[in-house]
Amino acid sequence: MTVSAIDYAVLSQAILAAAREMGAKLIRSAYSTILREARDGSAAILDRDGNTVAQAELIPMQLGTIGSVFQACAREYDLDEVGPDDFFVINDSYSGGQHLQDVFFFHPIFAGDRRVGFAASVAHHLDIGGGSPGLSVHARDVHSEGIIIPPTKFSMSRDWNGGMLERILRANVRAPLQTMGDFNAQIAANRIGAQRIGEMCERYGAETVEEVMAEFQSYTERRVRAAIAEAPDGVYFGEAVIDDDGIGTTPVKVTSKVTIEGDRLTVDYTGTDPQVSTNLNAPLAAAISATMSCVKSALTSPDIPFNAGLTRSIDVIVPEGSILNPRYPAPVRARMESCYRAFNATMIALSQAVPEKVIANGFDCTTVACLSWLNDGAYSVYLEIFGGGYGASVAEDGCDAIDGPMSNCANTPVEAIDQDYEFFRVEEYALTPDSFGHGTMRGGTGFVKTFRILRDGATVALYADRFTTAPQPLFGGEPGTMGACEIHRGDEVIRLTSKDMADLKAGDLVVFRLGGGAGYGPAADRPAALVADDLRNGLITEDTARAAYPAQMEALA
């Protein structure tokens, strides 16, 4: 490296700061609650060839393979012919993207006539067309899930601000104000990223900035290789299941074989069940993101940048035609359910190698709740992504009522929901006592959120998991708890499955119950002081505490 250590330190952190500023711009400029409040979007700086250099710490699932998503664009176009007015857009699940709701924008960054990188952003969009507002539960092919954008180069001056692309998108979405506003937020985020990298090039020179980008990736590679090398060599196995395929009741299996050999690691999903006819399939890019997220969280330090250097020492094998690498045109909207089981199966395998670094299963599925209503020709679409209780680890209880490790979406405040929607109101949003798996370290607590429907003609749709299969513990802990969705209509209780939709009436109460995480280690070894804390905070009832922790309760008496 010819750059001085001081300049490298300054510039590498400046590039990371630029990516974080892009993330802040994306969220603060957004229109929809799913992006503005839940923060379901991400941003990154790529080098001139499209390799990830730095990313905002928002949604790991969207960014773990953003460089490979970009490569789909690079295969279609000569990057040397890209100009400052050009940009790429892609959401096609079978051309390198994830699910259609995650739309990626890539804008080139120039220093004079030299292309030095790309500014990248991705957001989950409230509605992108398809068979139903916000969420098409019964889609049987990817075309039913929304408009498909293959890797395509557009012109800002020609195709946006009233141009062809903007008009086509506006015509295909049911909530154009929020959706188009979120697209503009992505463009704004990319512009601020390009501006910041341009300022660095003016001060230090484009060649210096490019050299730092390359070294930053190499730094991650060295740190990751060192972390893998610290783990014992061997072959380790893990397995996890999805409740069902959304039609039958048979669980869908994901298997993971982790091989550690020196400073290289391979994750092989051979043996995973075949793709299904419902939307639980995960595109290859999504399965790789899930794997990278698991390996990084279990083996490496939080301060290691998540960039292309991570992928250089990790191989991922995913059989084509499996639920983690389906063949076109399988639907993929709910790909997070399969990806979480890939995360779980790989984490279970790694627990055999590094037991002190892993976490037990949490209520780590994506519970997507969508309420929609058509009024006088205008759609109102609410969509929120719920988490649950996190899994416990060797030294910490699981976090209470938090999104899962690959999604990381934030809470959407009730006040923000009330401001945007008139056809329902939130009536309860609370932690659920006794909703976690016990252990030396307990799992995180689940919660309940209820919605009172105020207008006839509304619809609820959801996809979720862990309605029939509990989060699994580690090393003698106890399983977490399961979720549910119900419609209370007078004295009648209508129970929905984890992949379902239903018409609603004014007065209905829609109840989402989110489960808690699993425990780590035997409950008999839990410190009495922690049991006392849970009692004092109302997270466990006295009867449950006496049944789960009798010795500790006797000591507290």
Report pLDDT digits (tens) over 87-135: 999 999 999 889 999 999 999 999 999 999 999 999 999 999 999 998 8
pLDDT of 462 strictly over 90: yes
Question: Residue 100's Cα: distance from chain center in Å?
Answer: 14
Q: What is the model's pLDDT at position 85?
A: 98
Beta bridge partners of 257: 237, 268
Mean pLDDT (the chain, rounded): 95
The torsion angles phi and psi of 367, rounded to 5 degrees, stand at -100, 105
Is the pLDDT score of 413 beyond 80?
A: yes
Torsions phi, psi for 310 (to 5 deg): -60, -40
Residue 64 has pLDDT above 70, yes or no: no
- As a three-state string, the secondary structure of 240-295 is EEECCCCCCCCCEEEEEEEEEECCEEEEECCCCCECCCCCCCCCHHHHHHHHHHHH
Q: What is the pLDDT of residue 88?
A: 98
Q: Does 329 sit behind a cis peptide bond, omega within 30 degrees of 0 on the bond before it?
A: yes
Q: What is the pLDDT of residue 313?
A: 93
Residue 357: per-residue pLDDT = 95
pLDDT greater than 80 at residue 61: no
CA atoms within 13 A on the CB side of 319: 15
Residue among 549, 117, 175 at smallest CA distance from 375: 175
Q: Read off the pLDDT of residues 335-358 as tens digits, 9 standing for 90 and up.
A: 999 999 999 999 999 999 999 999
One-letter amino acid for residue 68 of the chain: S
Say which range, 37-41, 223-227, 467-471, has the weakest mean pLDDT: 37-41
Q: How confident is the model at residue 465 (pLDDT cuts 50, 70, 90)?
A: very high
Write down the pTM of the prediction. Answer: 0.95
Question: Hey, is 292 helix, strand or coil?
Answer: helix
| Burial class of residue 176 in the structure, from the number of CB atoms within 10 Å of its CB (0-12 exposed, 13-18 middle, 19+ buried) | middle
**109 in Cβ contact with 197 (< 8 Å):** yes
Which is more confidently placed, 410 or 245? 245
Are residues 353 and 299 in contact, defined by beta-carbon separation less than 8 angstroms? no
Helix or strand (DSSP H, E) at 362: none
Mean pLDDT in residue range 291-304: 92
Whether residue 15 has pLDDT greater than 70 = yes
Average the pLDDT over each of 8-22, 74-88, 122-136, 164-178 and give the range with the smallest value: 122-136
Give me the mean pLDDT over the 367-372 stretch.
95
Residue 250 near residue 244, CB atoms below 8 Å: yes
pLDDT for 234 beyond 90 = yes
Confidence of residue 405 (pLDDT cuts 50, 70, 90): confident
Band (pLDDT 50/70/90 cuts) for residue 557 is confident
Across 76-94, average pLDDT: 97
| Residue 411, pLDDT score | 84
Task: Tell me the C-alpha to C-alpha distance, in Å, between residue 310 and each of 70, 226, 360, 428, 447.
Answer: 17, 11, 24, 42, 35
Pairwise CA distance, residues 422 & 426, whole Å: 11
282, 335 in Cβ contact below 8 A?
Answer: yes
Q: Mean pLDDT over residues 481-497, rounded? A: 98
Look at residue 113 and give its three-state secondary structure: coil
Q: Pairing relation of β-strands 314-317 and 264-268?
A: parallel
The pair of three-digit structure tokens given for residue 390, joined into one six-digit string: 């996190």
pLDDT computed for residue 410 by the predictor: 84
Q: How confident is the model at residue 62 (pLDDT cuts 50, 70, 90)?
A: low
Give how far Cα 40 sits from Cα of 25, 254, 461, 545, 552, Å: 13, 26, 19, 37, 41
User: Mean pLDDT throughout 296-303?
Assistant: 91
CA 161 → CA 89, 103, 156, 168, 465, distances in Å? 15, 18, 8, 12, 40
| 523 within 8 A of 488, measured Cβ to Cβ | no
Contacts of 529 (CB under 8 A, 6+ apart): none
In this prediction, residues 198-212 reach a mean pLDDT of 97
**Contact residues for 148 (Cβ-Cβ < 8 A; gap 6+):** 91, 92, 93, 100, 142
Specify the range with the lowest mean pLDDT, choosing from 50-59, 186-195, 430-439, 507-516: 50-59
Distance from C-alpha of 185 to C-alpha of 407, rounded to nearest angstrom: 20
Mean pLDDT of 298-302: 92
Local structure of 125: helix, strand or coil:
coil
Q: Which of 151, 120, 153 is nearest to 52 (CA)?
A: 120
Q: How far is CA 67 from CA 50, 118, 193, 198, in A?
A: 6, 10, 16, 20
Amino acid identity of residue 490, one-letter, is G
Res 277: pLDDT: 97
499-511 mean pLDDT = 97
